[in-house]
Amino acid sequence: MIPVLRGQDCWKWLDAHGPLQDDSIAETVGTVIDEVRSEGDQALLRLARRFGDPEQIELSSSEVEKICAQLDPGTKALLDRAAARIKRFAEAVMAGLKPVTVEGEGYRVGQRFQPVKRVGCYAPGGRYPLPSTALMTTIPARVAGVETVSLTCPAPHPAVLYAGTLAQVDHFYCVGGAQAVAALAFGTDTIKPVDMVVGPGNAFVTEAKRRLQGVIGIDMLAGPSEVALIADETADPKWIALDLLAQAEHDPMAKVCLMTSSENLARDVLREIGQNQDLKPDFIEESLNRGALLVLTDLKECIRASERFAAEHLQVYSEDPSLREALKDYGALFLGPYSAVALGDYGSGPNHTLPTGRAARFSSGLSPLTYLRTQSWLQATEDAQDLFRDTVEFAELEGLRLHAASARARVRSRR
């Protein structure tokens, strides 16, 4: 059962939180990458047989259409609605981006946004099909202007494939694990190489992304799901318990916590967590044991604890607008008792692919911006004499004589 912590035990628990890295799988992942790089499709088929995945690497458009036909109209309509919300939000993000141009004496400089050309989106297989991940990785890529979007998923579910069709995905692959990341990075006879791989996966997928970062771009090294929830004595303990359980349901390694100054609320939430036995998956006790109900001094200390945790999801059972400004470190913020994290998991608009393991201190969730490169440019004329002379002086300051010579060649003699 989830522990209730007080005083210094709260801070010890928070300090122990961080990115998970399983060194025991590093050698396995390295071997898989080497095999895929050297043997291509043959390695993929051999690994598929070993792990019980489909021995088919790519689905044709007619095969995708046939599988999607298995979906009932209600499920298609649900995915259509979610896709529309995700696309609308992504388009609003893109609309806020503007290229920059600055005029100087004899020169102009600027910055523009250029989409990555080819992206591979990973949708995990795992315990449940995740069409939501397919939507949230492929649609922002399309809105950002990515030319070629590929979707890969081990044993793809009809709902996952249909989600891909809503983003006009170019290639559907039936490959999972570290081998999928390697195949997308290097290409095989069947799989086209990409410039970036995005999407969450298990520890093997994450380790492959870590190793291949630099060969390809990645979105992030996503770990197990997290939620931190700040609440006072006015909050409904049943709702809090359900919100904590909802994130614990993701994975045995998930981490959930409540931050409150109310002993009574912590006690009541603990009691409510003990309910709903018929809804709980078998592994949920493992994830609850990793979590905590933190009883802190006051709201200020709850905010400090939240910043220390830097949660993937931060839910605040208050509609106080000042809290939005006080809270800085989180992947996504959910304000007010009606703003359940589950709403963000399934297509309210913003993305559910978010930084974990305290990475929210320095990184962002997936969005159209993930697929964009900022590119600067400079255009100088003969009249940029002050810039030329300053460049000569700066190059000489740093001892780079050929840099200085390059700029000096463009300096006019003073008359």
pLDDT above 70 covers a percentage of the chain that reads 99
Mean pLDDT, rounded, for 180-203: 98
Pick the CATH number of 4-20+223-350 from 3.40.50.620, 3.40.50.2300, 3.30.70.20, 3.40.50.1980: 3.40.50.1980
Contact 199, 176 (CB under 8 A): no
Out of 83-87, 125-129, 203-207, which region has the weakest mean confidence (pLDDT)?
125-129
Instruction: Give catalytic status of residue 313 as yes or no.
Output: yes
pLDDT at 134 (0 to 100): 98
Q: Which two tokens stand for residue 386?
A: 């002050």
Residue 47 has pLDDT above 90, yes or no: yes
Catalytic annotation, pick one of 35, 249, 312, 352: 312
Whole-angstrom distance, CA of residue 370 vs CA of residue 358: 19
Residue-wise pLDDT for 119-172, tens only, equals 999 999 877 889 999 999 999 999 999 999 999 999 889 999 999 999 999 999
Strand order in the sheet with 4-6: 4-6, 292-295, 255-260, 226-231, 313-316, 332-335
Domain boundaries, the chain: 4-20+223-350, 24-222, 382-408
Contact 256, 293 (CB under 8 A): no
Contact 327, 67 (CB under 8 A): no
**Of the candidates 334, 309, 322, 323, the residue with the CA atom closest to the CA atom of residue 259:** 309
pLDDT at 415 (0 to 100): 53
**Of the candidates 186, 182, 137, the residue with the CA atom closest to the CA atom of residue 160:** 137
Residue 277 has pLDDT above 70, yes or no: no
**Of the candidates 306, 293, 281, the residue with the CA atom closest to the CA atom of residue 235:** 293
Q: Which two tokens stand for residue 170?
A: 């170019």
Pick the CATH number of 24-222 from 3.90.650.10, 3.40.47.10, 1.10.1040.10, 3.40.50.1980: 3.40.50.1980
Whole-Å CA distances, 365 to 15, 202, 234, 369: 23, 18, 31, 9
Residue-wise pLDDT for 294-309, tens only, equals 999 999 999 999 999 9
Whole-Å CA distances, 353 to 164, 345, 363: 16, 9, 12
Reported pTM: 0.94
Catalytic annotation, pick one of 313, 393, 396, 398: 313
Do domains 4-20+223-350 and 24-222 share one topology? The answer is yes
DSSP conformation class of 30: H
Instruction: Give catalytic status of residue 157 as yes or no.
Output: no
Whole-angstrom distance, CA of residue 176 vs CA of residue 82: 25
Residue-wise pLDDT for 345-378, tens only, equals 998 999 999 999 999 999 999 999 999 999 999 9
Residue 256 phi, psi (nearest 5): -125, 145
